[in-house]
Structure 1
Amino acid sequence: MAIPLALLAARLLARRRARDGHPSPARTAAADVAMVAGTTPWIWMILTPRTGLSGVSLVPFRDLADLFHGPAVTVFVQVGGNLLVFASLGALLPVRSARFASLARVAGVAAGASCAVELLQYGLRLGRVSSIDDVLVNTAGAVLAAAVTRRWWAPPIAAGTVPR
């Protein structure tokens, strides 16, 4: 249902950017809309309140180790879901802008966004545990997705030019 709306948004955004003289209007518009459309449902799910106590887990890999002692389907859903949270961001950020065309920069952006989400979960007392493991797996998902799209990354900006 949202796909036609996303396509329309990308087309209108590309048209506006072309009118403003942007060097890659269609590419950046499609990447921007797809990043938002691919990330928003996951953020919505993560920030949906649940019954339970809010908590913080700052010991790396503790929650993952505990998780792997549970049922395989739970491991698949939890790890797979966390890998996908910022996958569209990681896949499309370097496609959108040469400024982010490195795995380290994608990792930095994804880690920062993931930390923000975990802080929101804790601060809003949503009945969820804010875990460093979630940040690590979210970041890994973004980096893996970026690696998959490497062939389509935005070309480097020529020296002496100003990007828009």
Structure 2
Amino acid sequence: MARTWELWGNVIIAGTFALPLALLAILLLSRHRARAGHPAPLRTSIADVGILVGTAPWIWMILTPSSGQNGVGLVPLQDLAAVAEAPWQTVFVQVGGNLLVFAALGALLPVRTAAMARLGRVAVVSAAFSVLVETLQYVLRLGRFSSVDDVILNTAGAAIFALITRRWWATRIPAGSVPR
């Protein structure tokens, strides 16, 4: 765990300092949308800023160059099985971190718009973003291992967090009625 703090402590600190700015952004965006006649200004502002603030630090970590070897794992569950044999701290960080990468996206996208108020749609969007991130890791030669298992865990995390927020999904706001 100390190694995790050593590697990612700056991301955690930056994220913590970003919270007051996020609250200000929610306030300003909500006021702007209310003046423009938006049907759900606060709800969509919280969702938009929450998706950004909840996802950006994870993307920062994932796309930070590492001293490791570039690699790719295309066999589903093979890399996950190898991680399962590691010490519990490694399993916790690897699995837990991958489940959280798109958790904010999964939790708040269906809250944001009725068009995304379906678990399958949330899974497809999060899987697409996860494939993009894994591809960037490989193409940019960041010294990271790109794995289909990361895509599976990222997507599962988004779906789990979407289910957690299901009662707040934007089913009362008709799809297409929310201007940007």
| Structure 2 length-normalised TM | 0.87
Which residues of 2 match residues 34-113 of structure 1 at below 5 A?
A: 34-113=50-129
Q: Which residue of 2 aligns with 1:15?
A: 31
Secondary structure of residue in 1 paired with 2:29: helix
Q: Percent identity?
A: 63
Secondary structure of residue in 2 paired with 1:89: helix
Compared CA separation, residues 5 and 157, structure 1 to 2 (3 A): closer
Which of 157, 162, 165 is the matching residue for 1:149?
A: 165
**For the aligned residues, what is the CA RMSD?**
1.3
Q: Distance in 2 between matches of 1:158 and 1:141?
A: 26
Q: Distance in 2 between matches of 1:33 and 1:52?
A: 33
Q: Distance in 2 between matches of 1:148 and 1:21?
A: 29
Contact kept, 8 Å, 2:38 with 2:178, in 1: the verdict is no
Q: Distance in 1 between matches of 2:158 and 2:121?
A: 11
How far the C-alpha of 1:163 sits from its partner, in A, is 4.1
Q: Distance in 2 between matches of 1:50 and 1:18?
A: 44
Which of 151, 163, 172 is the matching residue for 1:135?
A: 151
Q: Distance in 2 between matches of 1:145 and 1:163?
A: 23
Which of 117, 134, 140 is the matching residue for 1:118?
A: 134
Specify the code of the residue in structure 1 equivalent to 2:142: L
Residue correspondences, number: 163
Unaligned segments of structure 2, at least 5 residues: 1-16
How far the C-alpha of 1:77 sits from its partner, in A, is 0.8
How far the C-alpha of 1:3 sits from its partner, in A, is 1.4
How far the C-alpha of 1:155 sits from its partner, in A, is 1.9
Unaligned segments of structure 1, at least 5 residues: none
How far the C-alpha of 1:24 sits from its partner, in A, is 0.3
Secondary structure of residue in 1 paired with 2:149: helix
Specify the code of the residue in structure 1 equivalent to 2:52: V
Q: Distance in 1 between matches of 2:108 and 2:178?
A: 18
Q: Distance in 2 between matches of 1:163 and 1:36?
A: 19
Q: Distance in 1 between matches of 2:177 and 2:65?
A: 44
Specify the code of the residue in structure 1 equivalent to 2:85: H
